[in-house]
Structure 1
Amino acid sequence: MKRCLTLAFTLLLLAGCKEEKKETTTVNTETPADTAVLAFEQKNYAKKSTICKKECTYVDIKVPEAMNGDKAIADSINQSLFRVARSIVYFGEKPTNAKNYEELTAMFIKSYDELAKKYPEEAAWAWEAKINTTKEYQSGNIMNFKVNNYMFTGGAHGYEGNRSVIIDAKTGRTLKRSDILKDEKGFTAFAEKKFRSQLNIPANKPINSTGLMFENNRFALPQNIFYSNNGITLLYNPVEIASFADGAKEVKFTYAEAGPYLKVK
């Protein structure tokens, strides 16, 4: 009897050790804190002039700010989006040297205020600067942001357009056209056929025969290519290849069509 009790006690100890070992293993395999997933928080930077007539000059920038995850990747994404905003929001011959959104908005308002004080007649109309950046597409390889922008600093009308910012999701680096296209020459020829078909431009007629304004009368890819879940879009903003009154023009391709020409999607 005593021998049986000893054996039973030994078995219980073994079972307890196995259970303790199992629990320890579970704790050691928890996800480390430094592998947090990259997230975005919507930020808004706005400023208004105090020199107002019928309306006040203002600047309003909405942008998703990358945070958590890899700091180097987040910083690279944020800087890429800021550089685009800085290339849009300014008055004069060239963009400002602003280092952040606060400086950028302040410099724009300062430009108006100085002009309004020195030449009141030149600043009769309030200026507007609006940017709304949104993440339109994301895969394991890339992120595609759309920078919708509207600027008015006097004249007959303002200007609205969209810019595409395509970023390598693994490095945060901004991708150029050569980074996303395998065969730019081949894709250009392919895109021209669809463009002509969409706008009813015969293959035997010059590309500008219907009033377009391609440089040297030769078809060219636009500055902006957008990704979506269904395919890619070539976007020509107003006045890029046509008059302001004709507005923007775009050509859409499914991934089945564009796939052979793409390096990433």
Structure 2
Amino acid sequence: MKIRLSFVLLSLLILTACSDQSSLNFVQKEVSPGALSLCDQSKCPEISVFYVEADQADPRSTVINAQIEQELGEIISSAVMPGDSLISEVQPALDAFVKSFQDYYGDFPEDALTYQLELEHRVSFQNEDLISLSTVYYTYTGGAHGYGSESYLNLNPETGIAYSLLELIDDVEEFTAFAERQFRTQNGIALDANISSGQFLFDEDTFFLPDTYGFNESGMVFYYPTYSIGSYADGPATLAFTWKQIGPWLNIPVPAL
């Protein structure tokens, strides 16, 4: 009986450990030109890619890694492909980026231009209720300047599926009004002034939350990419909330930091 009881307790401990949502491990990946077979055949663009994948020993990794592959693949391929033809896997997207440059170089071998891809993807926050993955990237494929931006993937650790804003934030409409007041305060725009006064240009002069948002140790950040509310010269804009500020609106527990 004691042996059987010990076995049951051990089994429960193993199951508990396996279901510990904060225990999900991520593995660092790196891609450089030397790792790409196409670069053995012809001149290669400048590539520096670091990203993470969920440890494949975890049953949630299939769902999580598919979302990571799609996000990064679309970021990389968007530099050289139209929006309706984006690639949802990292390796094929990298091949497309390299092939685009090699085609260009084949047509203009005397041109000093080279394509550039810099991408860093990492875990920006993780606990038992939330995993936030951030991506900072820069691409250059010719012209006056390149393009840099950020992206986030916010995952439910239990399912591995990305949260929507509606799942994360209680009463998005009221929160948006609260966020506008914070944005105005942060940027010195009076409450009764046009939101597009100064350097910002909101469509129809109406404040909105960007599609890009994520979390770090300090709290929650909303990211407005270049061109979304201003010119290229204005660059991107961010709206940040501490955990204390965002806490009343969150549908998940505020972490005890």
TM-score under structure 2 length normalisation: 0.83
d(CA) in 1 for partners of 2:26, 2:185:
40
Match of 1:207 in 2: 195
Structure 1 pair 81/68, CA: closer, same or farther in 2 (3 Å)?
closer
Structure 1 pair 64/150, CA: closer, same or farther in 2 (3 Å)?
same
Q: Does 1:148 align with 2:136?
A: yes
d(CA) in 2 for partners of 1:120, 1:183:
56
Unaligned runs of 5+ in 2: none
The equivalent position to 1:47 in structure 2, one of 33, 40, 50, is: 33
Instruction: Write the deviation string for residues 166-203 of structure 1: whole angstroms up to 9, x where unpaired.
Output: 01110010122222111111111101111111111112
d(CA) in 2 for partners of 1:115, 1:94:
20
Deviation at 1:22, TM superposition (A): 4.6
Q: What CA RMSD, in Å, does the superposition of the two structures yield over aligned residues?
A: 2.5
d(CA) in 2 for partners of 1:107, 1:217:
39
User: Which letter maps to 1:47?
Assistant: P
Deviation at 1:106, TM superposition (A): 1.5
Contact 2:139 2:146 (C-alpha < 8 Å) held by counterparts: yes
The equivalent position to 1:105 in structure 2, one of 73, 94, 99, is: 94
Match of 1:194 in 2: 182
Deviation at 1:157, TM superposition (A): 1.3
d(CA) in 2 for partners of 1:230, 1:117:
48
d(CA) in 2 for partners of 1:44, 1:251:
30
Deviation at 1:230, TM superposition (A): 3.2
Larger radius of gyration: 1
Match of 1:35 in 2: 18
d(CA) in 2 for partners of 1:106, 1:178:
36
User: Which letter maps to 2:97?
Assistant: F
Unaligned runs of 5+ in 1: 1-20
d(CA) in 2 for partners of 1:89, 1:32:
40
Match of 2:221 in 1: 233
d(CA) in 2 for partners of 1:42, 1:96:
28
d(CA) in 2 for partners of 1:26, 1:199:
61
TM-score under structure 1 length normalisation: 0.80
User: Which letter maps to 2:63?
Assistant: S
Deviation beyond 6 Å, 4+ runs, structure 1: none
- Matched pairs, number: 240
Q: Percent sequence identity over matched residues?
A: 24
Contact 2:48 2:119 (C-alpha < 8 Å) held by counterparts: yes
d(CA) in 1 for partners of 2:89, 2:157:
23
d(CA) in 1 for partners of 2:106, 2:218:
51
Q: Secondary structure at the match of 2:181?
A: helix
d(CA) in 1 for partners of 2:200, 2:100:
35
Deviation at 1:25, TM superposition (A): 4.1
The equivalent position to 1:179 in structure 2, one of 167, 190, 195, is: 167
Q: Secondary structure at the match of 1:179?
A: helix
Contact 1:76 1:172 (C-alpha < 8 Å) held by counterparts: yes
